[in-house]
């Protein structure tokens, strides 16, 4: 057997090679661990109307989990009038969900219904049915699916099980904000407002428990058009609140299912309107904005004068059906902007 003895110089070269290979391997393992950690699922930011979850502060995409549960419950539609609402997480509208572009969104849907199949069509999802086919859950079952948030924007979600119009009209809807990289311009207050229609057998104002009318829904003749699932949700103690000079943002969605909203706040000019949920190139100095069924807009403004401001659908007779709310603004008077002369 022949043995070759390595020279000191060769030994030094081999040692350096081993050190480099080991270092690269360790760095690769560390990066892999960081990637794995970044993909560990955490809960998505959610809140219920009119509240909005806080802005996302992380600078990288993550894996987030959204838990939705479908239930049915009688609740107040207007004073003295109740309705059998179909709900996500016990509220109409369902939770406001806040994620970031590039996030992987893992959705868990639990169907607590005893006799109906339910699902979710997310308008932010790129793929068949907005995810509805893979989230379809039979009574008493749970479905789970993952989706990539590819585009920033403000998006509707709603049930898409058959018959889809009935599932939408009875309360199964909400909003998802997919923040762009770097987020949106900061504001002082954010609110979640969603318009929708209810088709009851009884005429508007008829007291008692009201059943859903598929006949009126097909004819597109709602008895109620409301904000946040109730005629008085944004009135009285439910009024939105701000102070003079604060920057205010409303995330406004229109479920429909049939009517276009002409959203307006009396006495406010919107500084920025991100129309139809797109978060680039906002329109400026807008008085009223059209929001189609299944659409959304982001509205920024800054009240300059104290007082009560009325939110409404400027198809004005809809106010009599419930499409009205209040923003109460406190602060010092501004006689240089607004005053009575005589």
Between the two ends of the chain, the Cα-to-Cα distance in Å is 117
Strand 81-88 to strand 153-158: parallel, antiparallel, or no bridges (unpaired)? unpaired
CA dist 258 and 196 (Å) reads 9
pLDDT mean by block of 10 residues, the chain; 342 residues: 43 46 44 47 94 96 98 97 98 98 98 97 98 98 98 98 98 98 97 98 98 98 98 97 98 98 98 97 98 98 98 98 98 97 96
Neighbours of 308 (CB within 10 A): 11
pLDDT at 10: 45
Residue among 187, 124, 186, 191 nearest 152 (CA): 124
Which secondary structure element, helix H or strand E, spans residue 195, and what is its range? strand 189-198
Q: Please tell me the pTM assigned to this model.
A: 0.89
Provide the pLDDT for residue 41.
77
Non-local CB neighbours of 269 within 8 Å, separated by 6+ positions = 285, 286, 287, 301
Output the pLDDT for position 33.
41
């Amino acid at each position: 057997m022949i043995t070759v003895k390595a020279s000191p110089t060769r030994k030094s070269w081999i040692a350096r090679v081993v050190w480099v290979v080991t270092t690269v391997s360790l760095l690769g393992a560390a990066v892999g661990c960081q990637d794995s950690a970044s993909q560990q699922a955490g809960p998505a930011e959610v809140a219920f109307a009119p509240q909005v979850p806080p802005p996302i502060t992380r600078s990288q995409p993550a894996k987030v989990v959204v838990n939705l549960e479908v239930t049915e419950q009688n609740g107040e539609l207007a004073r003295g009038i109740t309705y059998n609402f179909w709900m996500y997480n016990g509220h109409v509208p369902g939770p406001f969900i806040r994620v970031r572009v590039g996030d992987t969104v893992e959705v868990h849907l639990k169907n607590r219904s005893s006799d109906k199949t339910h699902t979710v069509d997310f308008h932010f999802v790129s793929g068949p049915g907005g995810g509805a086919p893979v989230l379809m859950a039979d009574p008493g079952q749970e479905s789970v699916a993952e989706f990539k948030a590819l585009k920033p924007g403000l998006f509707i979600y709603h049930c898409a099980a058959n018959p889809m119009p009935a599932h939408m009209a009875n309360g199964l809807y909400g909003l998802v904000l997919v923040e762009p990289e770097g987020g949106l311009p900061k504001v002082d207050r954010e609110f979640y407002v969603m318009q929708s229609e209810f088709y009851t057998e009884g005429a508007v104002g008829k007291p008692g428990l009201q059943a859903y009318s598929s006949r009126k829904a097909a004819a597109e003749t709602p008895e109620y058009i409301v904000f946040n699932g109730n005629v008085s949700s944004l009135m009285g103690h439910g009024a939105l609140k701000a102070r003079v000079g604060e920057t205010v943002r409303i995330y406004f969605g229109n479920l429909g299912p049939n009517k276009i909203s002409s959203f307006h706040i009396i006495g406010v000019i919107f500084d920025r309107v991100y129309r139809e949920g797109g978060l680039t190139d906002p329109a400026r100095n807008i008085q009223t904005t059209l929001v189609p069924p299944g659409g959304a807009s982001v509205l920024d403004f800054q009240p300059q004068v104290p007082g009560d401001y009325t939110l409404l659908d400027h198809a004005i007779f809809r106010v009599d059906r419930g499409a009205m709310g209040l923003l109460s603004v406190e602060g010092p008077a501004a006689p240089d902007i607004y005053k009575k002369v005589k």
